[in-house]
């Protein structure tokens, strides 16, 4: 089983990826851990692509993240299921603030070691505006149109809770989970 999880920043991609991977006992890759190294520095692109290619060669996997430069088309094409978390900007903002207070002064499990959780103006701008431009939305709609039989869109917390319940997934919400 191969599952690709996409969606807006703060929508819960990494938490869902961990829960699914745990449930079906497959490896999980959070693309943020590939993109960043300690202190929010970007990893060398060749090295990052090598990590992702090797991971994708496995029989089964769960990969969360949007990153077009990291074989996005190939990930989606190879995936048996594509889950898109399309929460509102305000829901994502609330989730990011909650995440910040849960992980401040530490690195969350789905982030590179040494990247302490932070909220700054650039990230807030991304969540509320830049990451919400027409192009990302059009990209998500294009994926849904191209792969309608394997794409699931989850638009809000109620739908996400229903997905967790229907698939008997554990909600992983705390720092120590």
Residues 37-62 have pLDDT tens digits of 998 899 999 999 999 999 999 999 99
Tally of domains within the chain: 1
Percentage of the chain beyond pLDDT 70 is 96
Q: Please check whether residue 172 lies inside any domain of the structure.
A: no
Q: Please check whether residue 171 lies inside any domain of the structure.
A: no
Q: Which tens digit of pLDDT belongs to each residue from 18-31?
A: 999 999 999 999 99
CATH number at residue 143: 3.40.50.300
Do the beta carbons of residue 30 and residue 6 sit within 8 Å? no
Q: Please check whether residue 20 lies inside any domain of the structure.
A: yes
Distance, in Å, from the CA atom of 126 to the CA atom of 23, rounded to the nearest integer, reads: 32
Domain that holds residue 30: 2-166
Q: Please check whether residue 174 lies inside any domain of the structure.
A: no
Q: Please check whether residue 89 lies inside any domain of the structure.
A: yes
Distance, in Å, from the CA atom of 59 to the CA atom of 112, rounded to the nearest integer, reads: 24
Q: Please check whether residue 177 lies inside any domain of the structure.
A: no
């Amino acid at each position: 089983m191969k599952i690709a999880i996409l969606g807006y920043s703060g929508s819960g991609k990494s938490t869902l990826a961990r829960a699914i991977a745990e449930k079906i006992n497959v490896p999980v890759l959070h693309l943020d851990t590939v993109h960043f190294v300690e202190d929010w520095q970007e990893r060398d692109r060749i090295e990052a692509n090598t990590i992702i290619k090797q991971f994708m060669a496995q029989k089964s996997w769960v990969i969360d993240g949007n990153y077009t430069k990291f074989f996005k088309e190939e990930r989606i094409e190879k995936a048996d299921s594509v889950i898109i978390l399309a929460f509102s900007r305000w829901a994502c903002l609330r989730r990011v603030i909650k995440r910040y207070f849960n992980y401040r002064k530490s690195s969350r499990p789905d982030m590179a070691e040494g990247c302490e959780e932070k909220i700054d103006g650039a990230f807030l701008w991304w969540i509320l505006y830049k990451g919400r431009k027409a192009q990302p939305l059009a990209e998500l709609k294009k994926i849904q149109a191209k792969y309608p039989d394997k794409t699931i869109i989850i638009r809000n917390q109620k739908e996400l809770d229903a997905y967790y319940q229907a698939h008997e997934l554990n909600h992983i919400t705390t720092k120590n989970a």
